Structure 1
């Protein structure tokens, strides 16, 4: 019998992880990347005798696949992907491919904002008591971890792009933190397509599985009304009492599952801001479901270290606080950042706009922002949106210059906030590169 042929499009973390797992379980594997494969990944492929190509796609070697794993970064609009779909070759994401080779309990976390923080926080709590991996959009690939560690539990941070190519993938516990318009360029500019994509996280769940979601998020609540799921629902809310799930009362998080109630004070949470109370609720609900002791949950919430590039306090210089929120690649993330500012703020914003509507930021711009520095190749939309609201609005295409301008404008007691509300690919490699350049520029002041 000839081996089944697994072709992998994209030679990054998820692609190479899938290649290793695919080879181990008996597939004939071929990796193809239209761009350049990084040296560290090339070395892994060569060492494991896996056939690969980069800077091209050889159709003859791709279209004879039995199954194709597509990197989440490649859009369905790509001509090659269209051709593959026309031919009826199944296209799966890494989480779909890898999940069939593990019996682990899976916690899947998605949402437009807060995924990384909540996934990292959930993992931080669970690892005190369980054998658990952290993967998905974060860290080593899921496929590689199944191959190397075979954890009994996984916390997966999952993007809508990864959910677009699932068939049977089913987390025992699914979390949808929130949904706001993001990546609409990949969803024909239709918000409902993006919402449907996020809800695929629950499509294979049964009544024995759980869906944890934000009951204050109108988008989520109305979608669930018209598209009911089979899962057991565990909502969380800052504004209303919930019978099963989590809510806030007198600064305490109260979590109830099957009449088993635990109470967590929020005054010592390591993370600041309303949105982080929600992230803590989601993570604690997961932990409570998986029978982690209350004391362990409480201590973990208090000693958690924040995620890099997410409202990360960099330095205080001349009584001005510099804050790196480079991970804010959409308007909603920046909304949380500006909402949590307690002092006049010099705001560095801009990049690749994904169809942004800046209106929801207007109240904060009026109330908290004293100056705006636009850091992008094309800043026209920002200038039109905020031009009349602040006294100072300037443009630059260099991070070092943006930080120097901010340094000149900011006075003692102010904040300088990098929260771009946009993707980073016009001037930077990715949001991490953008955040690191910001931190370096601040340290060089």
Structure 2
């Protein structure tokens, strides 16, 4: 049988977006998902007459008919079907690179990092929209690039390591690397060097006329700059040192020094509603992009001075009898929890746990000793957390039920405490994703207050 289909593997936002774009450009499409496709995506596929299957892949049909495979970033390269496709020499392309084939004369801002990607994308999106730029936002933030590319002059793309793994020539005009910490190591053979390689792909694909913005304070990134060949102009940001170029903090004020050695004062840190060092990094990266794109300082300040936490990231839910409940479900790695603990001044009841990704909790020890009064482990397998902290924290409780976790945290708290739901793990043992997990936490907190 003559091969005639583009096969899309994965029926989520990314896969359905790729299928729609392929259909629009005249290709025959077949979409296959190993799990259950959500009804909202099924409806789109049916309305657009795109054939699909769910609850498993029909390997022979896929292999015999595929001229190309577009793979969801969530599917591992070690998946048996992917290995078979590679062995047979069938081209595999990411949704991102497939989409860019149909994007003409657009400017790409790619943003990656272990933490802070969504916040930084959201900040720069607001700034550019205010300037009146026809800008789109897509990627790991929850929107398909392939669905969003029509009639956009500029794109902000949140890039996960999984998406970067599937890219082989995707080039960002501006690339941002916010930080690199131990994350997703279960996907990278528990070797952080493999994860670092993945993150640096955002810079190594660039050309000399492009710009690479990076966190100067991150030792892994600084070492990477010595290891990887990067053609683009490198611009750092730091909250610890005054830099000869880039963004930095001096006297609790944010400055940007440009290539002409001109120091530009942006605003006082105290005028930024988002607290914590992690947010300062996100803001400085966004400020450099704004300077490069000639956005007026007044426009940037007007956005930065009104910033709010994104949903599921240090999101204050309710104060119940003097106890503040904070939803930080997006904290799926240790470094995110580090900044959550650091930015919380009150005594903490910490709800943590989920599906471990190769975590090492050692960097949390000083903050846990100083601030955490009890740990509630929410997950199917809590041994790693309980074993690590059992000699540090006297009270460690376990549950696999969100309602019980919230209630136990409330009982253990006193007036002036914070209940911090900052898992340090992925959500897939009990929930579909971090959003469902965070929403469940919020629901239970609201019920508790009724």
TM interval, short-chain normalised = over 0.9
Q: Distance in 2 between matches of 1:56 and 1:405?
A: 39
Q: Does 1:407 align with 2:427?
A: no
**Structure 2: 5+ residue runs without aligned partners?**
none
**Which aligned pairs between 1:132-143 and structure 2 lie closer than 5 A?**
132-143=135-146
209-218 or 126-135, which deviates more: 126-135
Quick one: which of 259, 262, 265 aligns to 2:264?
262
Q: Match of 2:342?
A: 339
Q: Match of 1:190?
A: 191
SS at match of 1:127: helix
Q: Over aligned residues, Cα RMSD in angstroms?
A: 1.3
Q: Match of 2:94?
A: 93
Answer whether contact 2:204 2:229 (CA < 8 A) is retained.
no
Answer whether contact 1:187 1:194 (CA < 8 A) is retained.
yes
CA gap of 1:267–1:3, structure 2 versus 1, over 3 A, is farther
Cα offset for 1:56?
Answer: 2.2
Q: Does 1:118 align with 2:107?
A: no
**Structure 1: 5+ residue runs without aligned partners?**
none
Q: Does 1:144 align with 2:142?
A: no
Q: Match of 2:111?
A: 109
Cα offset for 1:14?
Answer: 0.5
TM-superposition CA deviations, 1:135-178 (whole Å, max 9, x none): 1112331100114xx21111111101001111221010000000
426-435 or 257-266, which deviates more: 257-266
Answer whether contact 1:3 1:28 (CA < 8 A) is retained.
no
Q: Distance in 1 between matches of 2:163 and 2:369?
A: 37
Answer whether contact 1:257 1:289 (CA < 8 A) is retained.
no
Q: Distance in 2 between matches of 1:284 and 1:229?
A: 22
Q: Match of 2:369?
A: 366
Q: Distance in 2 between matches of 1:55 and 1:379?
A: 29
Cα offset for 1:4?
Answer: 6.0
Q: Distance in 1 between matches of 2:156 and 2:263?
A: 23
TM-superposition CA deviations, 1:58-98 (whole Å, max 9, x none): 22332132221111111111100000111122212111111
Q: Give the TM-score taking structure 2 as reference length.
A: 0.96
TM-superposition CA deviations, 1:292-320 (whole Å, max 9, x none): 11100111111122210000011111111
Instruction: Report the count of equivalent residues.
Output: 442
**Which aligned pairs between 1:41-440 and structure 2 lie closer than 5 A?**
41-63=41-63, 64-102=65-103, 103-129=105-131, 130-147=133-150, 150-259=151-260, 260-265=262-267, 266-440=269-443
Q: Distance in 1 between matches of 2:70 and 2:263?
A: 43
Cα offset for 1:261?
Answer: 4.0
Cα offset for 1:228?
Answer: 2.8
Q: Distance in 1 between matches of 2:61 and 2:130?
A: 46
SS at match of 1:212: strand
TM-superposition CA deviations, 1:386-440 (whole Å, max 9, x none): 1121221111111111111111111111111000000111112211111111111
Answer whether contact 1:124 1:304 (CA < 8 A) is retained.
no
Answer whether contact 2:3 2:67 (CA < 8 A) is retained.
no
TM-superposition CA deviations, 1:191-223 (whole Å, max 9, x none): 111101011112221111011000010000001
TM-superposition CA deviations, 1:91-125 (whole Å, max 9, x none): 12111111121121110000001111111111111
Q: Distance in 1 between matches of 2:97 and 2:445?
A: 41
Q: Distance in 2 between matches of 1:4 and 1:307?
A: 43
Answer whether contact 1:248 1:254 (CA < 8 A) is retained.
yes
SS at match of 2:102: coil
SS at match of 1:43: helix
Q: Give the TM-score taking structure 1 as reference length.
A: 0.97
Answer whether contact 1:334 1:420 (CA < 8 A) is retained.
yes
366-375 or 253-262, which deviates more: 253-262
Q: Distance in 1 between matches of 2:389 and 2:3?
A: 59
SS at match of 2:423: coil
229-238 or 198-207, which deviates more: 198-207
